[in-house]
């Protein structure tokens, strides 16, 4: 489920926070007209330079992926002019596409290689899955909101991503049929780390997940699985929507 979180804006090393209001519905996303492609490409390049490199995103593969994926294809039509702005955007159903910096930060923290098999919990519009697909061998992604799972599947297919597998279901349970995974990324916040996700992670793999209750700042947490257990590190303060369970809907 795509996150509704605080926007992290770094100004002279100080993180400041703001909140984006959400809408209720999602508009259809038709193909981009050829005339607008150069404009979007320029906006994408500015995003990489001004929002990512300027905030110390340094992994060249992540920067290249963020510079290739057409973010405008993953937002509603009327918001395409804001696709590369420095904040999340509503995609309907109470969900958002994450701020570009957050997408890049989580992707960099996951340390994806070209041979990686990655699980994403919370497909949303499919943008994070597309970024991962540029970097990994296989991406498995789960979305609990059925219309979002369907539209993300269609968008990813239209853009030619054949290594992304979308499933409608409860992300808390992971995708055991395809485990173990080299990396797992979660784009909604549980109040604890789901044990099924830890169980489905390879030894040496990483889990990047926001953890915490809804009445407090959550902590973006990076977990590494070792032969003797897990090593957990808290990083950014964030605010994501809760990780919804099937029985809670």
Considering the candidates 98, 116, 125, 151, report the single residue annotated as catalytic.
Answer: 98
* 8 Å CB contact between 128 and 185: yes
**Coil/strand/helix, residue 181:** strand
Q: What is the distance between the alpha carbons of residues 179 and 194, in angstroms, rounded to a whole number? A: 15
* 8 Å CB contact between 187 and 128: yes
- Contacts of the segment 42-46: beta carbons below 8 A, 24+ positions apart: 43/83, 43/84, 44/70, 44/71, 44/84, 46/84
Q: What is the distance between the alpha carbons of residues 112 and 91, in angstroms, rounded to a whole number? A: 26
* 8 Å CB contact between 75 and 97: yes
Q: What is the distance between the alpha carbons of residues 174 and 177, in angstroms, rounded to a whole number? A: 9
98 is catalytic: yes
Q: What is the distance between the alpha carbons of residues 13 and 25, in angstroms, rounded to a whole number? A: 36
Strands (E), the chain: 7-11, 14-18, 89-92, 95-97, 117-121, 138-143, 164-168, 181-186, 201-211, 218-226, 229-238
Q: Which residues are catalytic?
A: 98
């Amino acid at each position: 489920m795509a996150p509704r979180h605080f926007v992290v804006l770094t100004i002279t090393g100080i993180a400041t926070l703001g909140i984006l209001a959400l809408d209720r519905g999602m508009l259809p996303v038709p193909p981009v007209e050829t005339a607008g492609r150069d404009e979007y490409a320029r906006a994408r390049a500015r995003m990489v330079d001004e929002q990512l490199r300027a905030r110390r995103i340094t992994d060249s593969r992540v920067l290249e992926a963020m510079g290739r994926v057409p973010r405008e294809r993953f937002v509603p039509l009327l918001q395409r002019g804001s696709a590369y702005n420095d904040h999340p955007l509503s995609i309907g159903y109470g969900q958002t596409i994450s701020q570009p910096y957050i997408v890049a930060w989580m992707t960099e923290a996951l340390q994806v290689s070209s041979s990686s098999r990655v699980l994403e919990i919370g497909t949303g519009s499919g943008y994070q899955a597309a970024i991962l697909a540029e970097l990994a061998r296989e991406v498995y992604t789960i979305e609990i909101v059925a219309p979002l799972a369907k539209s993300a599947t269609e968008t990813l297919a239209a853009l030619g991503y054949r290594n992304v597998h979308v499933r409608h279901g409860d992300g808390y349970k992971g995708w055991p049929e395809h485990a173990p995974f080299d990396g797992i990324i979660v784009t909604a916040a549980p109040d604890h780390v789901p044990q099924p996700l830890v169980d489905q992670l390879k030894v040496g793999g990483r889990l990047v997940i926001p953890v915490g209750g809804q009445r407090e700042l959550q902590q973006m947490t990076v977990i590494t699985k070792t032969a003797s257990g897990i090593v957990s590190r808290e990083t950014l303060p964030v605010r994501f929507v809760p990780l919804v369970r099937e029985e809670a809907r």
